[in-house]
Amino acid sequence: MRFFFMLLALVLSVTVRAESDLSIHSGFFNAEGEDSGFSLDGDLDTLELRYRLSLTDKVVAEVSYSDRQGEFTLTTGGTTEYEATEIEALVGYTFCMDGDCDSSFTPYIGYRTFEAKNALTAFGVAINVDQERDIVPVGLAYEKKSGALEYGIDVSFGRKVSDDQIIPRLGVNQSSDDNWTYQVKVPVRYVVDEHFYVEFRYEIEEVRFSDSMDARFAREENSQFSFGAGYRF
């Protein structure tokens, strides 16, 4: 699946002759929630690369790659080493609400794949917990331009194709029966000139994991603040 996303990005960048947008963001990712009655508390550093292009004057496509690394604090006071990657591809169609398209909204659909590894020590034994999740997001993004400022809101719901948590050392392989997620993004962009811009983005996401066989329930409420810059070709 990762090869598919990489190939898609390469094909688009080589074959499409259209307006494109390449950006890089870094920031802080915080995870809160609970897992079977135990609180979750994670603090991660995040780095994101995003490539967006206009296939036509209305059709847009976007591919992004995120890398997150940090730690979760256990109820015992100890910490775990956590690292995750996420790749997403989206295709949308833009509707302009005025003649200059200073106000627009874009419905979209895509595919998102997420993999994570959480290394912890329990009862003196090193244990790795692997997470693998695939989601089909469907959303609506609104954007407003006002002088050098561009801002908006992006709301999406995701249907899980799969959501697994695996502990190889213990022979555990759990799948979630809860199949929905939601995500909200609020970007604020300052356009320096026709090519260069800087951007601040706030994101929230909720993900639930419910395994009926083992009576396990987990809920993550994730938030992210990031700052970056982009270049338009």
Please check whether residue 228 is in contact with residue 46, taking contact to mean a CB–CB distance below 8 angstroms: no
Element (DSSP H or E) covering residue 164: strand 149-167
Q: Where are the alpha helices (DSSP H) in 115-203?
A: none
Question: pLDDT tens digit string along 147-174?
Answer: 999 999 999 999 999 999 887 776 778 8
Which residue from 212, 209, 211 is spatially nearest to 40, judged by alpha carbons?
209
Amino acid at 194: E
β-pair partners for 112: 88, 135
Q: How far apart are CA 214 and CA 133, in angstroms?
A: 19
CA nearest neighbour of 42 among 51, 55, 33, 52:
33
Half-sphere exposure of 185 (CA within 13 A, CB side): 16
pLDDT at 140: 98
Grade residue 96 by pLDDT with cuts at 50, 70 and 90: very high
Average pLDDT rounded to a whole number, residues 113-127:
81
Amino acid at 112: R
Give residue-wise pLDDT tens across range 5-45.
Answer: 555 555 555 545 468 899 999 999 999 988 877 788 899 99
User: Tokens 């004057």 identify what position?
Assistant: 57
Q: Which of 36, 33, 39, 63 is nearest to 51 (CA)?
A: 63
User: Where are the alpha helices (H) located in the chain, listed in sequence order?
Assistant: 2-15
The dihedral formed by the CA atoms of 233, 8, 27 and 42, expressed in degrees to the nearest 10? 170
For the entire predicted model, the pTM comes to: 0.86
For 65, residues 6+ apart whose C-beta sits below 8 A from its C-beta are 5, 48, 49, 50, 85, 86, 87
Long-range (24+ apart) CB contacts under 8 A made by 6-12 are 8/63, 8/89, 9/51, 9/63, 12/51, 12/53, 12/61, 12/63
Task: Tell me 94's DSSP state.
Answer: -
Per-residue pLDDT, averaged over 69-95, amounts to 88
pLDDT of residue 60: 92
